[in-house]
Amino acid sequence: MLIRRVSILAVAMVALGSTIALAKPTLLSHQVIAQTPTSSPHPNPGKSRGWLKDLSLTSQQLQQIKEIRNQSKQQIAQKSQEIRQGQQELHDLIVGRATKEQVRGKYNQIKLVKQQLADMQFENTLAIREILNPEQRQKFADRMYKKNPPARQN
């Protein structure tokens, strides 16, 4: 009986740990800075939208980026909701009396939806990249791969 409880606890810890690991931001999620809608409230709005100013975009480029965002906004929100719901269901399965196969199935389902979301975001990043000139691309890439760029020293 004790072995069974320990086994269940171990499976739960592995499954939750894997879910948390998947939920952590990855390099790919840093590539999608452009996904943050400009109309949403931010704790520090100037800082979150600063990357647009850093790129010195033309009004046409800004409009094209807005269109790219708007085209996938609903799908991205839907996938994000699916992930949140799936994670709650996974939690409930782990806490409940679900079989290992049921728990694993839910985990794999969440993993698939996360991959679909990442793919959509990456496609948006590629679309935005096509709008930018070489200098803007360099700044865009620098911004994506550096969370907090170091301060310039003179």
pLDDT in the model for residue 148: 53
The single residue listed with the structure tokens 């992930």 is: 83
Q: What is the pLDDT of residues 105-139, one digit of tens each?
A: 999 999 999 999 999 999 999 999 999 999 999 98
Q: Write out the two tokens for 26.
A: 């990855």
The CA distance from 117 to 32, in Å, is 11
The CA distance from 22 to 85, in Å, is 15
Distant-in-sequence, close-in-space partners of 34: CB < 8 Å, separation ≥ 6: 65, 68, 69, 124, 125, 128
Q: pTM of the entire structure?
A: 0.62
